[in-house]
Amino acid sequence: MSSVIFLKKIENYVPEKAIEDFKKAAQKANMFCVLIKDKYYDDLFISAEGTLSEVDESTFKSIDNKDNLKYFTFNVNQVEEDSIDSFTWLTQDENYFWALDIENINHEYKFIFRFVVEYFKDNGEDYLWFDDAEWYYTADDILKLSHMPYNPKWCSEKIV
C-alpha cells in the first residue's frame, strides 16, 4: 500500500477546513501536525502538505535520523473539474473525491490507525480508502474497529 486516502464530499468542501480537521484529529490523537505548507495562486487554494509526528516541530527538525520516529506525511487537494464522478466505481456516489491522503507510511499502521479513529469521530460523512483496494471504510466502520482489539490487518483487508 502506498497511500491512505480520505474521500470527501465535493459539495461544501473547503480545503482549509480539511487542514483544520487534520490538526484537530492530530491533537486528539496526541500527535503533532508540523511542517504545513500551503500553496495558493492569487487567492485560490492549490494544495497543502504537512507531516503528522509523535514529536513537536522543533524536535522533528532537529532529529537527523528519523528511522525510529513515528510520522507520516499528508496532502490536501483541491476539487478539480474531473473530481466529479471520480469514485463512483467505489462509493456508488458521484460526489466524493480524493481530498486528502497519507503517504510515507513506513509501516506505521497502528500510529495511523490512532489518528484515523480521531479523525472519523468528527468527519462522519467521509470514507477511507487504500489506493490498491476495492473496498473502503466508512466512519462507522472505523469507530467499530476502534472498540475492538487492534488488528494489524485493518489496512490490507476489510475486517468489519
From first to last of the 160 residues of the chain, give the pLDDT tens digit: 578 999 999 998 999 999 999 999 999 999 999 988 988 888 888 889 999 999 999 999 999 998 889 999 999 988 877 677 778 777 777 788 889 999 888 778 999 999 999 999 999 999 999 988 889 999 999 999 999 999 999 999 999 8
Q: What is the pLDDT of residue 41?
A: 87
Q: What is the pLDDT of residue 82?
A: 65
Return the C-alpha cell found at 58. 522543533
Q: What is the pLDDT of residue 76?
A: 93
Helix spans in 1-159 (H): 15-28, 57-62, 88-91, 109-122, 139-146
- The dihedral built from the CA positions of residue 150, 33, 100 and 64, taken in this order, carries a sign that is negative
Answer yes or no: are the C-beta atoms of 7 and 87 closer than 8 Å.
yes
Q: Where do we find the cell 535520523?
A: 65
The pTM score is 0.90
